[in-house]
Amino acid sequence: MFAHWIALDPGSNSLRLYDYFNDREVCLKTCIAYDKQKMIAMAEQALAYVYQNKKDIKVRYPIKQGDILNDITPLIRQALKELKVSQNVFKPCFLVCLNEDVSDEQKLKWQQQLAACKVRKVEFITPMEVLQTEQACFIIHAGHSYTEMGIYAHGHEFAHKIIYFGGMGMDEKIKMTIAQKQNCLISNEDASALKEAVSQAFKMNKNPMLQCMAMDRYGKLVNIQIRASDLWPAMEEQILQVVLWAKHCYMNMGSEMKQRLMNNGIMLSGGLANCFGLKEALKHEFDCPIICTTKPECDIIEQMKGLK
């Protein structure tokens, strides 16, 4: 029986979908704005409500570490609409990439919410299954809400670890730094933008004064400024944790496997892979090639394209 398959990489920052049949791809910001219980905007349009000073308006981020925290059906329906998937004849089937820590209860929730979007069948796959190669490989997938790493050779797993350090952790630490230094609150989106600005500045060996909007203690929007170097400790802490756990996985390998891994290099993917400091820290610790594509945040969906 004909099956219309859709690949889904459900990140806590972005949802990426690929339509195998029509060779189309779509990416949506993983957020929804609500006024009380009524949805008023989703994806990029929801960001306009981040600084709405109204207690009934909330911007929610419905996915974290692969778990569904709030209703995701509006985002899935919008993605299917943008992919131009017709459900009149064949209901789509979804191949969903979730990390190994996602519980059976959560997988059932994924199945139920996708079924509500008229999805006929759901299959699951893990990032490590998507990314691993036949040869000995050391994979580090550093995402927004978690980092997953593993060592594999010829289909066998020799090490695997999931740590809850990633881009989201950096954003939270940046928000805390702003609160301590400026006595103001900033949004998740502004924290993420500051993180990106620091990363880009340091890559150019610069230390600029950065600025963004914030909410002061009186509930008023103000413009604040902060030096890029003042935010670096908030980012470095997450990077050092990734390197620490990568070293732990590697140290448990035998000498022959270590040599094979160092010859092949470390495969680095995920949204955090392009952040300043991570590749450099891994290179310094392991002294081997760090293999990273130009768009590592898209590596999962790109690899999933060859699975159906």
- Residue 212 and residue 194: Cα distance in Å, rounded? 8
Does pLDDT of 248 surpass 80? yes
- Whole-angstrom CA distances from 207 to 53, 198, 275 are 32, 8, 15
Whole-prediction pTM? 0.93
Go through 143-155 and write b for each residue having 16 or more CB atoms within 10 A of its CB, e for each that does not. Answer: bbbbbbbbbbbee
**Residues 211, 225 contacting (CB under 8 angstroms):** yes
Please measure the distance between the N-terminal and C-terminal CA atoms of the chain and give it in whole angstroms. Answer: 14
Please write the tens of the pLDDT for every residue from 31-70. Answer: 999 998 899 999 999 988 887 777 789 999 999 999 999 9
pLDDT band at 88 (very low <50, low <70, confident <90, very high): low
pLDDT at 90: 75
Averaged pLDDT score across all residues of the chain:
94
For residue 2, what are its two tokens? Answer: 């004909």
Closest C-alpha to 299, from 279, 270, 278, 273: 270
Go through 99-138 and write b for each residue having 16 or more CB atoms within 10 A of its CB, e for each that does not. Answer: beebeeeebebbbebbeebebeebebbbbbbbbbeeebbb
Taken in order 183, 64, 144, 50, the sign of the CA dihedral is negative
Amino acid identity, residue 38? K
For residues 2-26, give the mean pLDDT. 94
Please write the tens of the pLDDT for every residue from 193-224. Answer: 999 999 999 999 999 999 999 999 888 889 99
Dihedral, CA of residue 78, residue 81, residue 87 and residue 90, to nearest 10: -100
- Residue 140 and residue 230: Cα distance in Å, rounded? 27
pLDDT band at 308 (very low <50, low <70, confident <90, very high): confident
**Residues 169, 190 contacting (CB under 8 angstroms):** no
For residues 108-113, give the mean pLDDT. 97
pLDDT at 56: 86
Please write the tens of the pLDDT for every residue from 160-189. Answer: 999 999 999 999 999 999 999 999 999 999
pLDDT at 52: 75
Does pLDDT of 260 surpass 70? yes
Q: CB 9: neighbour CB atoms within 10 A? A: 25
- Residue 104 and residue 178: Cα distance in Å, rounded? 38
Closest C-alpha to 117, from 99, 92, 134: 92
Does pLDDT of 1 surpass 60? no
